[in-house]
Structure 1
Amino acid sequence: MPLTLDVSIVFIVWLSTCFPSRAATPKRRCMYFAKPQNTELTKVAGNISGHWQLCAITECCMGYFQLEDGKPKPDLLGCTRNTTNCPNSSCHASMYQKNIIGCVCSSDFCNTNITWNQKTTQNDTKQPQKAFNTTNILSASILIIPAGALILYIFHAIAMKWRILPKCSRQVTRPDTHYILEVLNNDLSKQLEMQKVLACGSFARVWQGTFQGSSVAVKVFPPALKQEFTKEKDVYKLPLMMHSGIVRFLANGKMENEFVLVLELATQGSLNVFLSRVMCDWACTLKLAQTLSQGLAYLHTDLQMNEAYKPAVAHCDLSSSNVLVKANGSCVLCDFGCSTVLERKALQGYTGMVEGRIQMGTLQYMAPEILEGCVNLSSGRCLLQGDVYSLGLLLWELLMRCSDLCNDFPVPEHMLPYETELGRNPSLEHLLTFVLEKRLRPTIPRPWARVSQGPLLHELLEDCWDHDADARLTAECVANRLASLPPRCCFVMNEVGV
């Protein structure tokens, strides 16, 4: 009789406690996830803190994933219990049994990023006895299945009787974790089905396609732009680079001679396209603004979690074309081709952060100091504050399409920042005159003053696009202010001239 995965894992973890382990003082940290029936038995491998486990016995992380429609879904993550040999620093998954892949690895949080060769996995399915040999903790079960089945049945019956595998008493929020698939042979041609072109940018084309049975966005770089592909891929693969406000990175590889990033599909398209066709009420507008600012605040965060470190990242090309809108009406950041990864010392004002010219983005979203070319390369803060200026313009752009802010006045057509004053594609010379010399900004409509949020929004925008970069808010402060806004628009009785 075949054993279920959950029951097999319970028995294997229990069995490993029967074998002596060598004394060690490891400091390995692993991403942790276990189903309720496995929680008690996995605790012996180390202390659990939220979604991480500090290994108490070995220096190896394990990851076991169930394949559902060809896509890996985490089933058990954490530290290994016995003295497993784990020479690989990354998670090279192999087939354990039908529809189950697993790995052991030897670096912090290595069990979150899967390297999985489907071709090898298919071969392993035909010869399961060669799949894991001595390099994974499940090998013991292969050697003792005849006797183990009986022991397992008895153990599981006792466990259920004494309820040592209880159900969770509360809802456990799983981490927003990427399980990144990096195809070993780099060939995604047979796994991707391209359907239609969604957008064409300076560096790449974006297609809609299917990958492992799901609709995805596929960003395709020509061979000559391998450096740009590598730069963007490296940003997506930074430690802890996972947040609901950043587009999910799924895989990278090649199709013939072109380089490919596979990303989640935001079905509403770019914020630019979305605002061109949709007028929003206050609730919709507020959700767009809050999720946009929260995503940027996380991108800017210099984050240390246990031994995993995410440096702050300056987007450097924040525009409504580089923000996507998901089906649930939330924003996610994308397109990190111009981004700059900031070392911790750069945020503290030390010199030597960047050598040479910083690659910047769309003209009308650039901060005055960046337009002028007076960026202080000795401090990472200037680049982050340049993003906040762009954020202010983006907030103005989406607030202009809010019907509740207009009261009885018609909602204006979607326009880019400075489009009314300087046209849709303003020149650098015109922007320098208008933004830098005259210190002018997009017009804030007077009808906004008739609603309760109007003065707060006016102040927020001005604090984002202040001419003095040091006087601007941080992205985190913007997110906090937006979070404090009332959820409904209330009409203010005092009349204001239009």
Structure 2
Amino acid sequence: MADAVIVGYLFTFLLINSCYAGLPGLDNTDTDGSPSTQSDNHLRDDPSSIDKMVVQLYPRYKCHQCEPPDCGPEETMMGVCRDALYCYKSSVRASDGTLRYSRGCFTSVDQAQFTCRTSQPALGLRKRHAGQLNIKCCQDDMCNAGSFPDLPPAVDTSIEPVPSNAWKLWLSVTLSVLFVSAIGGIGIFLLRRSHRLRVSRAALHKLGPDSSYLSTNLYGPLVTSTCYEGLEGSQNGGGLKAVAAGDSTLREYLESSVTSGSGSGLPLMVQRTLAKQVTLIDCVGKGRYGEVWRGSWCADSVAVKIFFSRDEASWRRETEVYSTVLLRHENILAYIGSDMTSRNSCTQLWLITHFHPLGSLYEYLNRSALSRHQMMLICLSIVNGLLHLHTDIHGTQGKPAIAHRDIKSKNILVKVNGECCIADFGLAVTRRHVQQHQLSARQGTKRYMSPEMLDQSMNVQCFDAYRKCDVYALALVVWEVTRGATGREYRPPYHELAPQDPSFEDMRKVVCVDGARPEPPQETHPTMVGLTNLMRECWHQNPSVRLPALRIKKTLLKLAANDNSIHLNEDNEVSV
């Protein structure tokens, strides 16, 4: 019984062993029953072993086989390939339009999967010079017989068609360019506007202490012409040059070059070469002594008063007055220097000062109407300048009192901040001049001469008499300003009583004999009434009755404080 059992086990073992012997990789096992690693590596590295397994796993077929040019719709000779996994037939149109046909087979799975999936029978536009392919694969004996796969009609590839969405690309490019151009244009505009404002502020900083008085229309060609100068080389040849006032060194030059304590003018060593540094641009006016030109010096606009050689005495007098110690004042025309030069074989005497683009008070009143605030600002600034001239400043380097002797609206310049400054000191005198020289009473502008000057009754040896004459002329200027504040057209003093160019006798008859005065404004406002009374006191026939400059200033400040339309600052001065 035991022998029968042992024989049964042995037979079973042999049967199982004979069954496993036919499977590769299972003939060698380890003691634990797992396949041998050496057999696995041998199977993986040997392609023929994989093919043998594929043969056992996939069926094999027979296929027609031919290659171009033997293949075609009417081929007569075809070969046969055996043991194929797939059969195929293909149609190919080359880039030159030639059709090629082929039949064949694949014996490799990878090759079959790669080729059978690259068929391109679909219609559509392809790149220029690209071909077309249509391949069909099948699994059956001789299944690749019959007609070849169809190809789409040939496309004319000589001109590559434009994609249908190209207009979107062009539109996006155009809009992008326009957007960038718009941003650039806005940026340039803002930069130019910022630069103009900066230049205008620089000009205001140099030409006046405050710009709050100005309205925006003053930032026009009249003002900016002082900041951008087309230089016509009157001395160094013609040409066009643009310079910005913001880059100027004039202010620093003046502040560092003036002699200690003088407050007026450049050192004499600098003045001797000043004419070579100034370029004349255009003539802005003419007077009895010569011409006034706008020039350029150190990138700044300056006024150049050119005297004729016969008027050297006036040039020396004005240069001497401007060089007076402590003369510099915000309501006195700022002096730069004087020089002699030769032009067109003629000797010229130059006096160089700051340039004020708004011109004289006479020109300003002819083109502008004034508010009461502007009127008071102009009157007070003129009085401040005259008060500084008339005042003695005592000290180690004191300033002597100066009488102007030619106060009129044409000799008063309007600054861009609305204030005024007094100019033209060709007839100015000091106490020393009065004591050392025999002066004539009838000097100045006849229309603005006081009664004592016209009838020659003034004491020419008394300096105070000249100051009284300045006050009389000041009253006539105040009358001109108040007339502009009432909205009436500008007229010079005594326009109804004297001719346009009166003689001494004409004015003597009107002022001294007839005792006439300009008609004050017929206004009932307290400020205008106060100015009328002030004018009457200042142009009084008796010089001793006329008010001094300090009293006139105090009266104007009192009138301004009582007028709500006139704005005062924290120093109780009329704000600019």
Coarse TM-score class (shorter-chain normalised): 0.5 to 0.7
CA shift for structure 1 position 353: 5.7
The equivalent residue for 2:260 is: 111
Change in 2 beyond 3 A, CA 1:370/1:184: same
**1:451 matched to which residue of 2?**
525
- For normalisation by structure 2, the TM-score amounts to 0.52
RMSD, matched Cα: 2.5
Q: Which amino acid aligns with 2:538?
A: C
Aligned ranges 1:124-203 → 2 under 5 Å: 177-178=263-264, 180-184=266-270, 186-203=272-289
- The amino acid that maps onto 2:528 is G
What letter matches 1:73 in structure 2?
E
Measure the CA separation in 2 of the matches of 1:395 and 1:463.
12
Identify which of 206, 211, 219 aligns with 2:305.
Answer: 219
**Residue 401 (1) aligns with residue 484 (2):** yes
Deviation, 1:266, is 1.4
Paired residue for 2:348? 258
How many angstroms apart in 2 are the aligned matches of 1:389 and 1:313?
A: 16
Secondary structure, counterpart of 1:195 in structure 2: strand
Task: State the percentage of identical aligned residues.
Answer: 26
Contact kept, 8 Å, 2:391 with 2:401, in 1: the verdict is yes
Q: Answer yes or no: is 1:267 the counterpart of 2:416.
A: no
Query: Would you say the 8 A contact 1:422–1:430 is kept in 2?
Result: yes
Separation of aligned partners in 1, 2:271 and 2:255: 26
Q: 1:356 to 1:332 in 2, by over 3 A?
A: closer
Conserved in 2, the CA contact under 8 Å of 1:188 and 1:255? no
Contact 2:290 2:307 in 1 (8 A): yes
- The structural deviation recorded for 1:74 is 7.4
Q: Distance in 1 between matches of 2:548 and 2:465?
A: 11
Give the TM-score normalised by structure 1: 0.59
Consecutive unaligned residues of structure 2, counting only runs of 5 or more, are: 1-246, 566-576
* Aligned counterpart for 1:435 among listed residues 488, 511, 536: 511
Mapped partners of 1:476, 1:231: distance in 2: 26
Asked if the contact 1:187/1:253 (under 8 Å) is kept, the reply is yes
Say whether residues 1:243 and 2:319 are aligned partners: no
**Alpha-carbon contact 1:249-1:264 (below 8 Å) kept:** yes
The answer on 1:471 being equivalent to 2:561 is no
* Distance in 2, Cα, partners of 1:239 & 1:319: 25
Residue equivalent to 2:403: 314
Alignment partners' CA distance in 1, 2:290 and 2:334: 18
Counterpart CA distance in 1 for 2:468 and 2:520 is 21
TM-aligned CA deviation for residue 213 of structure 1: 1.1
Partner residue in 2 for 1:98? none
CA contact (8 A) 2:265 2:322 kept: no
State how far apart, in whole Å, the 1-side matches of 2:428 and 2:541 are.
22
Q: Give 1 or 2 for the bigger CA radius of gyration.
A: 2
Asked whether the equivalents of residues 284 and 329 of structure 1 are also in contact (C-alpha less than 8 Å), the reply is yes
3-state SS in 2 of match to 1:229: helix
Considering fraction of residues, name the structure with more helix.
2
C-alpha contact (below 8 Å) 2:482/2:521 kept by paired residues: no
What amino acid maps onto 1:225 in structure 2? D
Contact (CA 8 Å) 1:464, 1:473: kept in 2 or not?
yes
Q: Which residue of 2 aligns with 1:389?
A: 472
**Counterpart position of 1:330:** 419
Instruction: Supply the AA of the counterpart residue of 1:442.
Output: P
Q: CA deviation at 1:419?
A: 0.7
Cα shift at 1:424: 2.5
Q: How many residues align?
A: 315
Matched, 1:230 2:313: no
Using CA pairs under 8 Å that are at least 6 residues apart, name the structure with larger relative contact order, 1 or 2.
Answer: 1
The C-alpha deviation readout for 1:14-35, integer Å capped at 9, x for no partner, is xxxxxxxxxxxxxxxxxxxxxx
SS of equivalent residue, structure 2 residue 351 = strand
Shift of 1:110: 4.3
Aligned to 1:462, which of 503, 522, 536? 536
In structure 2, the residue matched to 1:300 is 390
Q: Would the alpha carbon gap of residues 237 and 370 (structure 1) be closer, same or farther in structure 2, given more than 3 Å must change?
A: same
Q: Which residue of 2 aligns with 1:39?
A: none
Greater strand share, 1 or 2?
1
Amino acid at match of 2:358: Q
Task: Give the counterpart of 2:366 among 272, 276, 297.
Answer: 276
